[in-house]
Amino acid sequence: MSYERWPKYVSVAEKKARAEKKIKQLRKKNPDLKPVILAGKPLSTTWWGKAWNKNLERYADYANRIGRGKSYVRHMAVLDLHISKGHIKALVHGSTSQPYKVEISIAPLKKGLLNNIKKESAKQLSSLQDLLAGKFPKGLQDIFMVENKGLFPNPKEIKLSCDCPDWAVMCKHVAATLYGVGARLDEDPALFFTLRGVGVEDLVQQAVQAKTKRILAATTTAAKSNVIADDDLGNLFGITMDSNISFSSKKKGRKQQVKKKPKPAKKITRAPSVPSPDSDLILAIIKEYATNISVKDLAEISGLSTAKIYPILRHLKQEKRVLNPCRGQYCLSGR
């Protein structure tokens, strides 16, 4: 029995060494080369990377074939990977001296689905940082992952191409590229939105606008129901109110003219000029956030300039209503 047809065994270390050598060769001609290099054993570590891989593995069209790419991506076979709007291009090291060219096209997200996702995001999303970090309610995660109705593409929306001699549409080079996308999303989750043609800023902006409307409505209601106390009046107009003024006069027999000693000029303590409605708005926004919020985020949500916000924050800090745990970050006092 002949074993000549079986390929020669190549160790993992040798495969990685060959890939590293090839990467160095390609970099001489293409300095913009972006190989996929895994930090450890897991194919992905972040929510976006894991969700991408999970989405591909749950479809029967891919489930039996995509596993072929796991060892390839682990052995640094994906020598180059670039993601753009609706397109993925890769070079994958194979059995020949020249790497194989892989191209994958992703159909854009349908407008109707995108509008539904935006509405749900507005209800449950708090910030761009939370979105990219995958830190949002499970309900929103489920909406993103719904088959055929979420953010992630289904097989009908994906077109695969590789110039290798393998007859299968899902060859190991394509499979390695798809897993490479999951690893790349660990590094930069915003690339997912680039790939799907979705403006990540628009998705968050709609959520912020909806949240701002709720804050403004709550602030307006509170302002109408509250009566300003004397102390608050002093702060509002920037003076110290004198609460010891007496309007009663003592009468003893005939009226006597008493020379009044000149009173020393009353000292007026100037407080920072802070518009009360703006101060209430900033405080309401800080209360809404579960974590620290930056001055930049406060400006985006409130519509006020940073020049107006800084005096308000100083005033709130003096009153011990907000804290400044680190530079440029603020939170509610006692949180």
Residue 67: the pLDDT is 87
pLDDT interval class at 2 (50, 70, 90): very low
Mean per-residue pLDDT for 3-8? Answer: 57
pLDDT interval class at 102 (50, 70, 90): very high
Task: Please enumerate in sequence order all residues whose Cβ is within 8 A of that of 309, keeping only pairs 6 or more positions apart, or say none.
Answer: 282, 295, 298, 299, 302
Residue 257: the pLDDT is 56
215-224 pLDDT tens trace: 565 555 555 4
Is residue 183 pLDDT above 90, yes or no? yes
- Torsion angle of alpha carbons 311, 316, 320, 323, nearest 10°? -80
131-164 pLDDT tens trace: 888 888 888 899 999 988 899 999 999 999 999 9
Is residue 230 pLDDT above 50, yes or no? no
3-state secondary structure 238-266: CCCCCCCCCCCCCCCCCCCCCCCCCCCCC
> Quick check: helix, strand or coil at residue 104?
strand
> Quick check: helix, strand or coil at residue 101?
strand
Residue 273: the pLDDT is 47
Is residue 128 pLDDT above 90, yes or no? no
Mean per-residue pLDDT for 280-294? Answer: 78
Whole-structure pTM over 0.95, yes or no? no
The residue assigned the tokens 């953010």 is 151
Instruction: Look up residue 304 and give its two tokens.
Output: 């006020």
> Average pLDDT over the chain, rounded to whole?
78
Residue 216: the pLDDT is 60
Euclidean distance between CA atoms 100 and 160, whole angstroms: 13
Mean per-residue pLDDT for 303-324? Answer: 85
Is residue 247 pLDDT above 80, yes or no? no
17 versus 240: which is more confidently predicted? 17
**Sequence-ordered alpha helix ranges (H) in the chain:** 12-29, 47-57, 60-63, 70-74, 111-124, 128-133, 138-145, 172-187, 190-196, 200-225, 230-237, 276-288, 295-302, 306-318
User: If we measure between CA atoms, which residue out of 213, 204, 46 comes closest to residue 127?
Assistant: 204
Calculate what percentage of the chain has a pLDDT beyond 90: 29
Residue 272: the pLDDT is 46
69 versus 260: which is more confidently predicted? 69
- Which 8-state DSSP code applies to residue 171? -
Residue 299 CB neighbours (<10 A)? 16
pLDDT interval class at 240 (50, 70, 90): very low
CB 218 within 8 A of CB 283: no
Q: How far is CA 221 from CA 184, 217, 252, 293, in A?
A: 47, 6, 53, 24
Instruction: Look up residue 247 and give its two tokens.
Output: 């309007």
Mean per-residue pLDDT for 74-88? Answer: 95
CB 75 within 8 A of CB 19: yes
Euclidean distance between CA atoms 239 and 119, whole angstroms: 46
Residue 77 phi/psi, 5-degree rounding, is -75, -25
Is residue 228 pLDDT above 80, yes or no? no
Mean per-residue pLDDT for 288-313? Answer: 80
Mean per-residue pLDDT for 305-309? Answer: 84
Residue 221: the pLDDT is 56
Mean per-residue pLDDT for 46-73? Answer: 89
Is residue 225 pLDDT above 80, yes or no? no
Q: Which amino acid is at 244?
A: N
Euclidean distance between CA atoms 85 and 193, whole angstroms: 8
Mean per-residue pLDDT for 241-250? Answer: 42
116 versus 78: which is more confidently predicted? 78
Is residue 252 pLDDT above 90, yes or no? no
